[in-house]
Amino acid sequence: MTVFYSNPGHLKHSQLANTSCHIHLWLATQDSSITNELINPLQQFGYTVIVYIPTTIPNIDTNFVPPDILVIDLELLNTDSASITNTEYFSQFSALQNLECPILIAASEDNFQSRRRAAQIKAIGFLLKPLDAAQLVDNIERILGEHYAPPLRVLIIDNDLELANHFCKVLRTEGIETALLTDPSLIIDTIDTFRPEFILLDMEIPGYSAPELAAIIRYHNDLMGIPIVFLYNADALNPYIEEMQQIAADFIRKPIKDSHLVTAIKMRAVRFRQLAKLMSKDSLTGLLKHTRIKEGINLELVRVQRSDKTLSIAMLDIDHFRQVNKDYGHAAGDRVIVALGYMLKHCLRKGDGIGRYGGEEFVAILPECDPNMAYQVMDNIRERFAGLQFQHEGQKFFCTISIGIAYTNDLAVQNSDSLLIATEEALQLAKQWGRNQVRLATHATGNSN
């Protein structure tokens, strides 16, 4: 849904509440070329777009449903004085602060002054016009992923209940989820259920040694890189210092200021989250890697055996992708791959698994989805992707995708390999029949039609 609205201050929540779009985007511009080039592609990605054509930015009425992200044409931010201070400049656009959403700047020129203007209003992204829709979505997804990331999860292991509860209170005030463990013998169950991203471990728990507890944690393969920060009193550190250098992310001496505790945890936990993402996700698209896809399918197959519900698997391949690379270069090809990845994330359910299988191939894991439903969902994605317009050095081009779908049924599926083979056979049939189409496998382990 695209909304052209010259005065968003009167836009009611009910006008947007019934839309199926995931992200509400404002384009603040008087440049019709921006809107003409972006409206349709952003629709295909499932965005709700409000084009706001203000007289001046300070006149924004903030009595509205706020956008998830705001893209502002730099032309709206020009001032007469180049020497105006940051504070004076930003005060003229105080309404931007009230939006409480990330801001992207679209500029005609890439120079120091343009970037300074963007920095003065605390924009977190800078893009050059003409804007490429796929590149814009790439930036938006990255920014929103960081801005609206789920709360960090911190496990505190300490037998000093009063101090540990104080730490929990401080961290929760900062939006950090916490779990408190006073009995280290329950550490395995607690980690399995809470899945912490940071562990704060006291070095002086009676009956336990800090190195032993850290080793128990490290036995979890998924938590090999998790930051373990040790709380210590001055006299307690020395006996363990050499033994613990290899397992400790840091040491924090008690007592510690609340603000310092929060900073120490946030910095290290965010780095762990980034590292975990790099290990499991494809670096270009942010989707699951090849091996993680198979793990996801096998997990869903176990659930299928318990629930007797249908699991569908879709494999997507960008048509004539080598020609795209040849005609427009690998950078343009990467933008096409990224665009398809983001479209899958927008159009599929939160519980669906999405991965980059290799090159220009993707796999979608669709639990509790029968083949007819899977066909409709994938054909909608196919149509949307075919409507996306890409740009390279002033040239515009389009791409299509072919899709194969296989699914579980009364013929037993042994593992992810057999299901993926059937899915790939359906995909190859879609290619043979002319591409830009969806084909269903006749069953999960055999021929397609």
**CA contacts within 13 A on the Cβ side of 417:** 1
**CA contacts within 13 A on the Cβ side of 24:** 20
Known catalytic membership, residue 393: no
Cα separations in angstroms, 193 against 117, 155, 390: 47, 11, 44
**β pairing state of 69-73 and 23-28:** parallel
**Domain 153-280 fold:** Rossmann fold (3.40.50)
The CATH 3.30.70.270 domain(s) of the chain lie at: 290-440
**Ordered per-residue pLDDT tens for the chain, 449 residues:** 344 433 333 333 333 333 334 688 888 888 887 787 788 788 777 788 887 765 545 455 555 567 888 898 888 776 554 544 445 545 556 666 667 788 899 999 999 989 988 888 888 889 998 887 777 887 887 788 777 778 889 999 998 889 899 999 999 998 899 999 999 889 888 888 898 888 898 888 888 888 888 888 888 776 666 788 888 876 655 555 555 655 555 677 777 888 888 888 888 777 777 766 666 677 788 788 888 888 889 888 888 877 778 899 999 999 999 999 999 999 899 989 989 998 898 888 878 999 999 899 999 999 999 999 999 999 999 999 998 888 888 788 999 999 999 998 744 556 788 899 999 999 999 999 999 999 999 754 434 44
The token pair at 346 is 């927008």
Burial class (CB in 10 A: 0-12, 13-18, 19+), 1: middle
By C-alpha distance, which of 133, 142, 150, 147 is closest to 286? 142
The CATH 3.40.50.2300 domain(s) of the chain lie at: 2-147, 153-280
CB 428, CB 393: distance < 8 Å? no
Instruction: Check whether the bond before 54 is cis (ω within 30° of 0).
Output: no
Question: Edge-to-edge strands of the sheet including 47-52?
Answer: 2-4, 47-52, 23-28, 69-73, 103-107, 125-128
Query: Domain 290-440 classified CATH 3.40.640.10?
Result: no
Domain 2-147 CATH (choose: 3.40.50.2300, 3.40.50.300, 3.10.310.40, 3.30.110.40)? 3.40.50.2300
Q: What is the largest CA-CA distance in the chain?
A: 75
What pLDDT is stored for residue 3 in this prediction? 42
Considering the entire predicted model, what is its pTM?
0.61
Cβ neighbours, 10 Å, residue 43: 18
The token pair at 310 is 């249908």
DSSP string, 200-244: EEES--TT--HHHHHHHHHTSGGGTT--EEEEE-TTTSGGGHHHH
CB 335, CB 132: distance < 8 Å? yes
By C-alpha distance, which of 291, 298, 296, 295 is closest to 415? 298
What pLDDT is stored for residue 361 in this prediction? 95
What pLDDT is stored for residue 364 in this prediction? 96
Measured CA to CA, the distance from residue 326 to residue 329 in angstroms comes to 6
By C-alpha distance, which of 400, 410, 398, 387 is closest to 438? 400
State the catalytic residue, choosing from 197, 360, 424, 425. 360
